[in-house]
Chain A
Amino acid sequence: MERSSIIERVLRAVLLTLIVIFFLFPIVWILLMSFQTNEQILRIPPSLSFVPTLENYKALISGHLLTSAGSLDIAFMRNLGNSVLLSTCAVVLALILGVPAAYAFARFKFWLSEDIAFTLLSFRFAPPLLVLLPLSLYFQDLGLVDTYVGLIWVYQLIALPLILWIVRGYFEDISPDIENAYRIAGHSWLRTFFKIAVPLAGPGIAAAGLLSFIFCWNNFVFALVLASADKQPVTVGALAFVTASGIQYGQVAAAIVLSVTPTLLLALYAQRWLVEGLSLGAVKG
């Protein structure tokens, strides 16, 4: 009995380690690459021993890329700033629009409500490229091509359905009686929404916000088509590392590390809001 449980434990530890190595290997490899020069990365056979260099990061932050073919200006920090601006604005806008809409879909059954909710979800099914061609034509007419406003608007295709559907589920999980009790206590429905519904759906709103932030951050194709260099986020900006003299692997790796960091920090910070079970104990089941 005792022996088999030890074997079990060891086996479990080994398997878990294997899985962690399998999933973390690319990230660790990229982290290591970001501290190497292009020559070190490309040497054959590859080796794990190298003298770490901060050249890649320096080049990215200063905006001057030195290649064997000469020096090149890149706008990586500007791209990073664009990413932060676009994703944050898109998510904030989607929250402002999506949370009340999710509440309406959760609480009220109005004419065509299910159809409208489904149509909004279906934005996620459509391949972006299918939407992009007509969209870029319309945007040209409207003068929205290459503007932050236009991009933030298009990002709603990513963020809004996600927030709507995740938050709706959380609102539906709140017992309507809790809201009814607050109404009967003499509070208006607007107050009830802000004081009862939103705080109780808090973890869901945080989760949906974080998730849609990550999706917006990782978006590539909308910004590629609809924005020029000075409005582009990091995902598109990374293309600049494919230079005439070859791909700058070291800088690409450093850029990835830098661009992953904000989302990682946000996820770590938001973790505390994702605690479930807030509504435990309110209602006798």
Chain B
Amino acid sequence: MATSPTSPASDAGDIKAVPVRHYGRWLFALIVLVFVASLLSSAIRNDNFKWDVVGDYLFADRVLRGLWLTIWLSTVAVVLGIALGTLLAVMRLSDNPVLRWVSLAYIWFFRGTPVYVQLLGWSFIGALYSTISFGVPFGGPVLVSANGNDLITPITAAILGLGLNLAAYQAEIVRAGLLSVDEGQVESAKALGMTGAQSMRRIVLPQAMRVIIPPTGNQAIDMLKTSSLVATIGVADLLYSVQLIYAQNYQQVPLLVAACIWYLLMTSILSIGQYYLERHYAAGNVRELPPTPLQRARARAASVRFGGPGNPG
């Protein structure tokens, strides 16, 4: 647009537009910047943070192994939580009273007890049930049977503890999303001959996503950090790994800083993912989507290269 010689901007050469000057805005920006800069420099120049030690351990083998465990454990727990949570939400809104009540009871229990206790509970499951079998209940034939302690390893306990707890919260998020979709949409879908499942999958869920994604992103980010609770059941995630290291060398602060750098990096990546996912599901809702930061940067680069609006190349 800017490069087109017929664009209105180039015709308006004789009008000199001066943006309104916000002196107050500039002043406050300056004050805040000075404050932030002094805070940063105090951290960077403070020798007690031992930045060289942070650097040494940031890519240490044990830290990276812990990081990897945190990543995949959180991923599995989030996937489990979202899948089960969605199922629970659909059950909760179902016409079938049994499904409704089971879902309600599940949410009541798993939201009502601390996730820490749930983790411990899963790790003790071997003590509660020495064998775990699947089969026809109440004395019917057993199909699969395993020793409780073999089946529920600390990792399995961690996945179950985190995932099942997340599912309870996720169920409420999905339910809110489903309820946010206009009832007329279900009507329309039915009138066109969709079955209940079809209208849920093709019409309701895609529209509910707009409401579901932001809090779900929150949950995923939260899970990255909540997963550090698995230290209590002896699973060596990122945090537990650095704890093991500083238990030996007493460098608590730099090691915790190193862990936080990794947590921040992971949550940043998740936030970016969430941003693009939100855009994807916003289709049809915003008349024209605003450009992404990347598109904006590209447009700016292009306008610099070809000359700005008042200066057609």
Answer yes or no: do A and B interact: no
